[in-house]
Chain A
Amino acid sequence: MNQLKLSLIISKKHSSGQHVFKSGLFYLVLLFNISTSLQAFELTDTISLHGFLTQGYFLTSSNRIFGESDTGGSLDFTEAGLNVSWNPDADLRFAGQILFRRAGTGHAHDLELDFGLVDYAILSNPETLLGARFGRFKNPLGLYNETRDVLFTRPTVLLPQSIYLERTRDLALSADGGLIYGEYRTEAGNWLVEIGAGVPRGNNLDTELAYFGSNYPGETEPKLSYIGRLSYEREGGKYRAALSSVWLDVRYEPQFAIPDDLPSVKDIFIPVIFSVQYNGDPVSLTAEYATRRIQRTSVGHTLDLDITGYSYYLQAIYRFNEDWQFIARYDALYNNRADKYGKGYQALTKRPAHTQFATDWTFGVRYNLTPSLLIAAEYHYVNGTAWLPYQDNPNVSDLEKRWQIFSLATSFRF
């Protein structure tokens, strides 16, 4: 890890004189300046401000994503974020981010606090870091979840939906509560553990549609849930691996009596995600695999179920040079391991079998005009509709099993 290497360099600062590191044609040295007395910092020295703005265009052959994409394309996709952090001292940080988002039907102009937290490091030395975050924290899940709304940090305009489903996005985003973290840095790599408890966001129509497929009179609400991730990283992120899981508690409380409403329901959703990544030059390879178990219990047991689905993707990025890259990915999601292609589901519910799976071949290019400005284009060939956002596609009988997406986006960051 680069931080590790720096820390090793730094730890020798007292014994070093004037040395020069020679490598190939370059002579490079590290420099430092240690304050010998306590000095007051200007407030502005300890505050950082960052932001991003992305505008996307989506065109689909059929089925809709982010607006009326099947009729001449849709520009209803905008992401903008502004974040500020304040470090009053080396162990204490305050950080917050406001997110504005336009993302099709039901999300014409969402403005929300994406995260807002205080972070305190109890122990911080070159080998070990131990600390905690309180407030609204981003859920540590897989490789991309925490920064899923920032095009600069995700590989494609549309993240692999097998793991990062658009339809349950709000539940996955962030939670209100606390998280403890510990990092152990060794020559053989860095280990990081994060364990959190909090109430996820997602008290909205998207959650109800994702869980029950329809808008019911009562309220679907996330409750106190738990999340954990163990990550390993070496050589500055050349090799990365992670194991993450969630115990997500969502309840439905009816407003009316049966048959005018659902019964009271408790849903426990337990995804487990395995992630590996290799970052070389010119190729990066990424794979993530998830099992997704949902255990539903309801008053009267009429809606009870226990289903395990699975999903995965394999992704390769080829960097032609520092500015151009090409990406290819195969992505697959199966809602129910025991009924992979939805035949049993169709017989039981009369809904199409293709709503229970989706495979997606993606090919894309990205060009960095400057380090702060990029353009990305991609093509998806999709078989199945398991991850289609509900609000853009209210009528299930209108859905096409095989469909295509073309997307173009530009993004600026500072």
Chain B
Amino acid sequence: MRLRKWQDGSPIKVFVMPDGNPTHIAFSKHVLRVFPYQLRSAWNRLVFSGTGEEPIIVESEEKMREAISSTPGAIGYLSRSMLNESVKAISNN
């Protein structure tokens, strides 16, 4: 990911689910409006050219929620039903 830090200077930690995960596909297509293969291809280019990092992959929504709530500066996505008080939700509109 190209944006590296929050406004307070702390590093951004991006979490995503695996390429074929239905929530990942839905988030890519409907929120980011890109196809998952475009994300994968951009991340591969960053990693293997030495110019950037790819997001950290978590296997499930439970693990996503756990990772977000326990990692400072973390950002990710979840289905609405997975929300609880351990994480804070924001919207893109």
Interface residues of A (CB under 8 A from B): 1-3, 5-13, 16, 18-21, 23-24, 26-35, 38-39, 48, 50, 52, 81, 83, 85, 87, 89-91, 93, 95-97, 115, 117, 119, 121, 124, 126, 129, 133, 137-138, 146-147, 150, 152-153, 183, 185, 235-238, 279-281, 319, 322, 371, 413
Contact = CB atoms under 8 A, between A and B. Distances in A.
A159 to B, nearest CB: 14
A90 B78 contact: no
A281 B45 CA distance: 20
Given A96-B50, A236-B33, 4 more contacts: A24-B30, A33-B71, A137-B50, A152-B44
Nearest to B18: A371
B56 to A, nearest CB: 9
Interface string B18-34: 11100100111011111
B88 A32 contact: yes
Contacts of A33: 68-69, 71-75, 87-88
Contacts of A5: 31-33, 92
Interface string B41-61: 110110111110110000000
A371 B44 contact: no
A30 B11 CA distance: 17
Contacts of A124: 3-5
Nearest to A26: B26
B72 A147 contact: no
A280 B10 CA distance: 35
Contacts of B53: 48, 85, 87, 93
B90 A28 contact: no
Interface residues of B, number: 64
State the main secondary structure of chain B at its contact with A: mixed
A18 B31 CA distance: 17
Contacts of A11: 7
B3 A7 contact: yes
Contacts of A91: 4-5
A28 B80 contact: yes
Given A10-B75, A18-B89, A32-B75, A97 B50 contact: yes
B35 A281 contact: yes
Contact of A153 (B20, B38, B44, B69): B44
A280 B20 CA distance: 18
Contacts of A237: 34, 38, 41-42
A240 to B, nearest CB: 10
A26 B22 CA distance: 10
B72 to A, nearest CB: 3
Contacts of A8: 92
7 contacts: A9-B92, A10-B6, A26-B23, A31-B88, A34-B72, A236-B32, A279-B37
Contacts of B23: 26, 28
Give the most central of A13, A19, A29, A237: most B CB within 10 Å. A29
